[in-house]
Structure formats: structure tokens, C-alpha cells
Amino acid sequence: MERKDTSPTTQAQGPRLTMAEEQRLAFEDDQRRIKRGTQMRWPGFLFRN
């Protein structure tokens, strides 16, 4: 629980994340990557989990 400051999105829900929340976090992370222009591995990363 030491990284509460660095990763507020993950630690906000507590230790246990539901599948939907993990996918949402991964999706938001992918959206950030897409905005940067690196969207090559977007579908594989999103649906592989």
C-alpha cells in the first residue's frame, strides 16, 4: 500500500479490483497510448486479459 500516491486510480478501490475495473483501467491506459499515436497493439492488449 506504499504506492497509494503514485497510482491513485488503482489504489482507490482498495486491494481487490473487479474484472470490469481492471479492463476499464487497461482501456483508459490504451486511450492514453492512442492519443500519443502508438495504437498498434491496442486490440490485442485490451482483449488478451
Task: Please tell me the pTM assigned to this model.
Answer: 0.38
Chain position carrying cell 491513485? 8
Residues 6+ apart with CB under 8 A from 49: 22, 23, 26
Structure confidence at residue 17 (pLDDT): 74
Examine the pLDDT at 49 and tell me if it is beyond 50: no
Give the integer Cα–Cα distance in Å for 33 and 24.
Answer: 14
Helix (H, G, I), strand (E, B) or coil at 17: coil
Please state the rounded mean pLDDT for residues 5-29.
72
Cβ-based burial of 19 (10 A; exposed 0-12, middle 13-18, buried ≥19): exposed
Please state the rounded mean pLDDT for residues 8-33.
76
